[in-house]
Structure 1
Amino acid sequence: MVDIEARTELDGDVYRTLLESTKAIPWKIDWATMAFAYIGPQIESLLGWTPESWASVQDWIDRMHPEDRAWVVDFCVAQSKDGVDHEADYRALSKSGEYVWIRDVVHVVRNADGEVEALVGFMFDISERKRTEEKLLNMQRELERLSFKDGLTGVGNRRCFDKVLKNEWNCAQRSRQPLSLVMLDIDYFKQYNDHYGHIQGDNCLKRVGALLDSMATRPRDFLARYGGEEFVLVLPETDAQSARSMAERCRELIEQTQMPHEKSSAAPVLTVSLGVGAMIPDMADEPLSLIGAVDRALYQAKLQGRNRIAMADEP
C-alpha cells in the first residue's frame, strides 16, 4: 500500500513543478497575516525582485505605480472581503525602475465557517497586450481626427462643423454671450473650374482654406469647409459688428492675393461673397436658425453683385 503522506508530498511537488514551469506567476497570501505564503520564482525573471523579497501585501502595494495604487488596492480589498473572485490590471515596478503591466487574477479561499482564509492567484505579464491596445487606440484617435478633417483643404469638414457649432451653441446659451457665423462662397467657382481645370480648382480651394484658417487666430475660432466652394467661420463670444469686421478682412485678404479669374463677372481676380450673423441663443433656440439666417444673407450678397458682405436679419 502506497504511503498516503508520501503520495501527497509527491503530488505537491508535481503540482509545484507544473506551476513554476508556466509563464503565469502563482502566489498565495494568508488573509490573517497579510503575508505572502508563496510566490512563484518566475517573478524574479519578470520584475527582478526575488521571491524572498515579497514578504507581505505591503511589498505588493509599494511596487505598484502610484497612479494605479489607490484604486487597485481599494478594489482588491473590497472584493476580497466580500469573497468575490476578481481581476485587476496595473503597472508593477521592476527592480530596474521600469514599469511592467500586470494582470492579477485572484481567487478567494474560505474556511469551513465561510470566513476568508487566503487569497490565491496568478500574475500575468500583459505588457505586449497593452502596447497593442495603445497602438490601436492611437490609430482610432487618428482615424477620428481624420474623420473630422476635410480631405482636400485640411480644415474642418461638415461633420466637425456640426459638432463644434453644437458645443459653442451650448456655451453661448449658458454664458449669454453672442455667437457669430461667417459663411462665404467663392464667386463664380464653377466658371473658374471650367476655365482653369479641376486641378487648379482644387489648388484654389486649398489656398482659400489656408488663407481663411490664418484668420482664425483665437483659440476657439473655427473654420470648416461647409461644402463645395463654401466655407464657414464659427466665432464664439463675438458680436455682429466684430464678425462683420472679420468678414471684411477675409474678403480683402482673398481679393488682395490677386488670383486671376478671367471668367468672373465680379472682378478679374478671385473674390468671395459673405453672409454674417450673430445671436445670443435662448435655451429654446436651435443652431439651424442662425445657419439659415446667415445662409440667406450670403444669398443676398450674391444677388447684390458678389464680392461683398450681407448681414443677416435677427433669426
Structure 2
Amino acid sequence: MADFEKLEPDSTVYRTLLESTKAIPWKIDWDSKQFAYIGPQIEALLGWAPASWQTVGDWASRMHPQDREWVLNFCVAQSQAGVDHEADYRALTRDGHYVWIRDVVHVVRRADGSVDSLIGFMFDISERKQTEQKLASLQKELEELSFRDGLTGVANRRRFDALMELEWSNARRNRQPLSLLMIDIDYFKQYNDCYGHLEGDACLKRVAWLLASAATRARDLLARFGGEEFVLLLPETDESASLKLAARCRDLILAEQIPHAQSAVGPVLTISVGAATCIPAHADELRGFLDGVDKRLYRAKQQGRDCIVAAS
C-alpha cells in the first residue's frame, strides 16, 4: 500500500485530496495483480480494512456471486485492450450484506503500449440503485394499470387487443384451435335506470369476478370489452371446451341471483354469449373472426337473450 507515492510526485497533497472524498481511490499493478493502494474509505463503506485488499482475488471474492463472472470477464477484456471502462456490481460487506458499487477504471499503459497498471475509483451507488429499482417497479405498476380496467380490475380493451393478435398468430403458426366468448349483460341499461349507476358499477364488478372465476387456466384472458360487454379469450381451446365454459359462465351468473326487476328475461340478471372457435389458416383475417363472434352475440340477443349462440 505504500506504493501510493508512485501515483503522483506530491503524494501528501494528493493523498489528502483523494482520501477526503467519498469516492474510494485504488491502484492495481497489472503484472502482479496486487493492490498498490486502496483508500481508507473502503473500511467505512464495506468494513474490510485496507490492508486486507492484497490482490485482485480479494476484490473478486467480495463480489456477489451473480455479478462476479461477467464483471471479471468484462474488466479483464477491457483492461487488456487498454480501454477505460466502468462496471456496476454488488460488493460484500464484512457483516454479510451487499452494497452496490460503481468501479470507474483508467488503464495506464507503458511506452510500448503494454498495460502497466489500473487506477480507479469505487463509488457507493446503493441509493441510486434503490431509486432505479423503485422507478422500475413504479413503471411496471403503471404499465399493468394501463392494461387494466379501472372499474372491474380485469384486463381492458387495450390488453385484449394486444393478446388477441398474439394468440391469433400463435394459433395460426402452431395449427391450434383458438376460441373466443363475447358476453353481454342482458338489459343492463334498464338495470342502471332501475337501480342507479352506483349499483350498476357494483353489478359490473360482481359479474367480472364471476366470469374470472370460470376461467382457471393462466393463459385464459377475461377482459372488459366495453360498457357491459366482456370477452373471454381461450387459447388452445376447441369448440366443445369453449361451449362448456360458456355454459359455466351463464350458470354462475344465474346462480348468483342478482335481482333485475326491469329485465324482460326474468327477475334476475342474465347474460348472452356469442362463441366461436377457429384454427386460423394463413388467409384468415382476425377482423373477420371477431366480426363473426360479434354477430353471434347479436343473434343471441335476437333469440331472446339468456342463451349461447355458437353456430353461424
**Range class of TM-score, shorter chain:** over 0.9
Deviations 1:230-256 (A, max 9, x none): 000011211112211211121122122
Q: More displaced, 162-171 or 72-81?
A: 162-171
Query: Could you say which residue in structure 2 is the equivalent of 1:59?
Result: 58
Query: Could you say which residue in structure 2 is the equivalent of 1:88?
Result: 87
Asked whether the equivalents of residues 296 and 312 of structure 1 are also in contact (C-alpha less than 8 Å), the reply is no
CA distance in 1, matches of 2:125, 2:283: 51
Matches within 5 A, 1:1-315: 11-313=10-312
Deviations 1:176-216 (A, max 9, x none): 22110000111111111111110111111011101101101
**Secondary structure class of the residue paired with 1:276:** strand
CA distance in 1, matches of 2:13, 2:210: 75
Give 1:145 shift: 1.4
Q: What TM-score do you get using the length of structure 2 for normalisation?
A: 0.94
Q: 1:38 to 1:9 in 2, by over 3 A?
A: closer
CA distance in 1, matches of 2:99, 2:311: 60
Q: Give the letter aligned to residue 153 of structure 2.
A: G
CA distance in 1, matches of 2:56, 2:311: 69
Q: 1:286 to 1:124 in 2, by over 3 A?
A: farther
Q: 1:260 to 1:9 in 2, by over 3 A?
A: closer
Give 1:133 shift: 0.8
Asked whether the equivalents of residues 8 and 14 of structure 2 are also in contact (C-alpha less than 8 Å), the reply is no
Name stretches of at least 5 consecutive residues in structure 1 with no aligned partner.
1-7
Give 1:139 shift: 1.0
Q: Give the letter aligned to residue 87 of structure 1.
A: E
Q: 1:25 to 1:258 in 2, by over 3 A?
A: same
CA distance in 2, matches of 1:98, 1:9: 35
Q: 1:126 to 1:312 in 2, by over 3 A?
A: farther
CA distance in 2, matches of 1:238, 1:118: 64
Query: Could you say which residue in structure 2 is the equivalent of 1:5?
Result: none
Q: Give the letter aligned to residue 27 of structure 1.
A: W
Asked whether the equivalents of residues 275 and 312 of structure 1 are also in contact (C-alpha less than 8 Å), the reply is no
Q: Give the letter aligned to residue 82 of structure 2.
A: G
CA distance in 2, matches of 1:220, 1:287: 19
**Secondary structure class of the residue paired with 1:108:** strand
**Secondary structure class of the residue paired with 1:79:** helix
Asked whether the equivalents of residues 47 and 94 of structure 2 are also in contact (C-alpha less than 8 Å), the reply is yes
CA distance in 1, matches of 2:146, 2:39: 48
Q: 1:85 to 1:10 in 2, by over 3 A?
A: closer
CA distance in 1, matches of 2:80, 2:9: 34
Q: Give the letter aligned to residue 18 of structure 1.
A: L
Give 1:169 shift: 2.1
Q: Give the letter aligned to residue 258 of structure 2.
A: M
Q: More displaced, 292-301 or 261-270?
A: 261-270
**Secondary structure class of the residue paired with 1:88:** strand
CA distance in 1, matches of 2:108, 2:311: 73
Q: 1:302 to 1:36 in 2, by over 3 A?
A: same
Give 1:129 shift: 0.7
Q: Give the letter aligned to residue 282 of structure 1.
A: A
Name stretches of at least 5 consecutive residues in structure 2 with no aligned partner.
1-6
Q: Give the letter aligned to residue 161 of structure 2.
A: D
Give 1:52 shift: 1.1
Give 1:137 shift: 1.0
Q: Give the letter aligned to residue 169 of structure 2.
A: N
Give 1:284 shift: 4.4
Q: Give the letter aligned to residue 159 of structure 2.
A: C
**Secondary structure class of the residue paired with 2:22:** coil
Asked whether the equivalents of residues 215 and 245 of structure 2 are also in contact (C-alpha less than 8 Å), the reply is no
Considering only aligned residues, what root-mean-square deviation do their CA atoms show, in Å?
1.6
Q: How high is the sequence identity, in percent, across the aligned residues? A: 65
Give 1:161 shift: 1.1
CA distance in 2, matches of 1:173, 1:180: 13
Work out the number of aligned pairs and report it: 306
CA distance in 1, matches of 2:305, 2:168: 29
